[in-house]
Amino acid sequence: MKNSAANIPVVIVGGGPVGLFLAIALLKNGIDCKVIEKRKEPVADSRSLGIHPVSLELFDELGITTPFLEEGLKIKRGIALTATKKLGEIHFSDCPKPHDYILACPQSTTERILRDELRKLNKDALITKAEFIRFEESENSVTTYFSRGQETQQISSQFLIGCDGKNSQVRQASSIHFSGKRYPDTYIMGDFTDTTDFGADAAVFLPKDGLIECFPLPNGMRRWVVKTRDYISDPVDEILASFVKQRIGHDISGTKSTMLSSFGVQHFVAESFAKGRVLLAGDAAHVVSPIGGQGMNLGWLGAWKMAKQLSSARHPDPESLLAYSDQHKKIAAKVARRAEVNMRLGRASAVPMFKDWMIKGILHSPLKQNVAQLFTMRGLNDWWL
């Protein structure tokens, strides 16, 4: 067995968007760390795309915003419609500057930029093709075992942080309970060449048969998300195109998708985000509905607080991390509630006229500003929702 490094402060399992961001935040705060990631390359497809202003403010503090602005696309306005009629709009440009927009950036690009930024800080921090096996915890340290090819290696550290996604092996190995539920809601999603006139605007259609959202992507593409009655196990372009045509009359049938998938919606949360010397962040700690697009951003908020907590104490002790866990659990619960409201609004309605009337009323009242806050993840420390 090979001993990769001894007694560094932190080992992170999982170099997805949250693990990479956390590693950058730790290194910038003077805390050495290693990231163990099983994939050689970043994810290939676009997946999560919305980077919210609260995250961009954290990027500013870390000095990593510029490459995101170079590759992303600024969404400054969201329009709500029935099948064809406009109900109202929200302007993110009314939100605090400088980030008065949501940045659309495919997850493949996000992960590539974060990998580059991490390597600039420490070229050896990311260990790829390395798969977590198990850990052993003692009073003052944790030893993490991982495989790399045929070899098993080990690293000891003061803390082990699981950023290894919703099926987290780290969470399972620490016997932290993960509870929640699956919703009946199902969707089909795809990225197509943009054939709409929406430009850099996002559009949310609320026809009577169920939600259709479309978001601009860089390079002339547009993400379509369509609520379906049942889970479609073999999604193809034609199915998505026919829903769009049928519900809102827009034809995307001539264009080909670069990404297509079906997904169901879940909400799960770990009973604690800290247990002894093991911590959890990102989807390993909490999974929220992708409708509203806030899961990755929530992961970054938690990772940021965790990095601050670890760097504020000269010798951080497991007890002090329980406070972090309690605080971030409250924020995660709030984000999950917001995502649920979004999702319910998109369900087929028995009285669509009432829903349209209500949405129109809100989007033409001062409450419109609260809706913009909701969509841009502001006010998470406020009392409302």
Ligand X SMILES: Cc1cc2nc3c(=O)[nH]c(=O)nc-3n(C[C@H](O)[C@H](O)[C@H](O)COP(=O)(O)OP(=O)(O)OC[C@H]3O[C@@H](n4cnc5c(N)ncnc54)[C@H](O)[C@@H]3O)c2cc1C
> Contact residues for ligand X (CB under 6 A)?
13-19, 36-39, 47-50, 131-132, 163-165, 169, 189, 263, 282-283, 290, 293-297, 299
CB nearer ligand X, residue 83 or residue 345? 345
Closest approach, Cβ 13 to ligand X, in A, equals 5
Closest approach, Cβ 358 to ligand X, in A, equals 25
Q: Is 292 left (phi over 0), alpha (psi -120 to 50) or beta?
A: left
Q: What are the CA-CA distances from residue 201 to residues 85, 150, 228, 367 (Å)? A: 16, 49, 23, 20
CB nearer ligand X, residue 36 or residue 241? 36
Closest approach, Cβ 360 to ligand X, in A, equals 26
In sequence order, the β-bridge partners of residue 228 are: 186
CB nearer ligand X, residue 51 or residue 363? 51
Closest approach, Cβ 252 to ligand X, in A, equals 18
Question: For residue 315, what is the DSSP state?
Answer: S
Closest approach, Cβ 117 to ligand X, in A, equals 15
Q: Indicate the length of the chain as a whole number.
A: 385
Amino acid at position 381, single letter: N
Closest approach, Cβ 145 to ligand X, in A, equals 11
CB nearer ligand X, residue 251 or residue 271? 271
Identify the three-state secondary structure at position 254.
coil
CB nearer ligand X, residue 156 or residue 376? 376
CB nearer ligand X, residue 289 or residue 309? 289
CB nearer ligand X, residue 290 or residue 316? 290
CA atoms within 13 A on the CB side of 33: 31
| Bond into 184 cis (ω within 30) | no
Closest approach, Cβ 141 to ligand X, in A, equals 20
Strand-pair category, 77-81 with 86-91 = antiparallel
Identify the three-state secondary structure at position 220.
coil
With vertex at residue 127, the alpha carbon angle to CA 124 and CA 133, rounded to the nearest 5 degrees, is 145
Closest approach, Cβ 15 to ligand X, in A, equals 5
CB nearer ligand X, residue 84 or residue 152? 152
Considering all CA atoms of the chain, what is the largest pairwise distance in Å, rounded to the nearest integer?
A: 67
The Cα 271–Cα 305 span in angstroms is: 18
Closest approach, Cβ 260 to ligand X, in A, equals 11
CB nearer ligand X, residue 49 or residue 203? 49
Q: Which of 319, 316, 262, 329 is nearest to 30 (CA)?
A: 316
Q: Angle formed by the axes of helices 295-312 and 17-28, to 10°?
A: 30
Locus of tokens 């989007």: 363
Helical segments of 225-294, H only: 237-248
The pair of structure tokens assigned to 323 is: 């406070």
